[in-house]
Amino acid sequence: MKKFSAGLQELTILENEKIRVTRYSEFLLLYLENLEFSQQRICDFGCGTGVLGIYAAKRGAHSVTGFDIDPDAIDLSNRNIDLNDCSNFQPYLITDHGIDEKYDLIISNPASLPTVKASGKEFFSGGIYGIDMIQDLFNFSARHLQKDGCIFFLQTSLSSINKAANYAHDKGFNYKIIGVFQTEIRGHYQEFWHRVEQNQRTGDAHFVEINGVHSEIVYLIEAKYRDLP
Ligand SMILES: C[S@@+](CC[C@H](N)C(=O)[O-])C[C@H]1O[C@@H](n2cnc3c(N)ncnc32)[C@H](O)[C@@H]1O
Q: What is the pLDDT of residues 189-222, one digit of tens each?
A: 888 999 999 999 999 999 999 998 999 999 999 9
Which residue has its alpha carbon closest to ligand 1 atom 15?
122
What's the pLDDT score for residue 217?
A: 97
Cα 137 to ligand 1 centroid, rounded to whole Å: 10
Which atom of ligand 1 lies closest to the CA of 132? 19
What's the pLDDT score for residue 189?
A: 85
The mean of the pLDDT values for the chain is 92
Tell me which amino acid residue 45 is.
F
> SS3 of 229, please?
coil
Beta strands in 26-144 (DSSP E): 41-45, 63-68, 89-93, 103-108
pTM, 2 dp: 0.95
Cα 121 to ligand 1 centroid, rounded to whole Å: 10
What's the pLDDT score for residue 66?
A: 97
Decide: 159 and 134 in contact? Cβ < 8 Å. yes
174: how many CB neighbours lie within 10 A of its CB?
A: 14
- Strand 176-184 to 89-93 pairing: unpaired
Which atom of ligand 1 lies closest to the CA of 110? 10
**pLDDT greater than 80 at residue 10:** yes
- How would residue 77 be classed by pLDDT, with cut points 50, 70 and 90? very high
What's the pLDDT score for residue 37?
A: 92
What's the pLDDT score for residue 53?
A: 97
**pLDDT greater than 90 at residue 130:** yes
Q: Among 15, 29, 70, which residue has the most ligand 1 atoms within 8 Å of its CB, making it the best to mutate?
A: 70
Which residue has its alpha carbon closest to ligand 1 atom 9?
21
Higher pLDDT, 149 or 99: 149
Domains of the chain: 2-223 (3.40.50.150)
Cα 220 to ligand 1 centroid, rounded to whole Å: 16
Cα 45 to ligand 1 centroid, rounded to whole Å: 7
- How would residue 4 be classed by pLDDT, with cut points 50, 70 and 90? confident
- How would residue 6 be classed by pLDDT, with cut points 50, 70 and 90? confident
Side-chain half-sphere CA neighbours of 56 within 13 A: 34
Which atom of ligand 1 lies closest to the CA of 136? 19
Phi, psi at 158, each rounded to 5°? -80, -10
The ligand 1 site (C-beta within 6 Å) comprises 19, 21-22, 25, 46-49, 51-52, 67-70, 73, 94, 109-111, 122-124, 133, 136
- Cα Rg of the chain, angstroms: 17
Cα 82 to ligand 1 centroid, rounded to whole Å: 20
| Greatest mean pLDDT among 10-14, 48-52, 223-227 | 48-52
What's the pLDDT score for residue 8?
A: 72
Cα 64 to ligand 1 centroid, rounded to whole Å: 16
Q: What is the pLDDT of residues 136-173, one digit of tens each?
A: 999 999 999 999 999 999 999 999 999 999 999 999 99
What's the pLDDT score for residue 228?
A: 54
**pLDDT greater than 60 at residue 229:** no
Average pLDDT (25-51) is 94
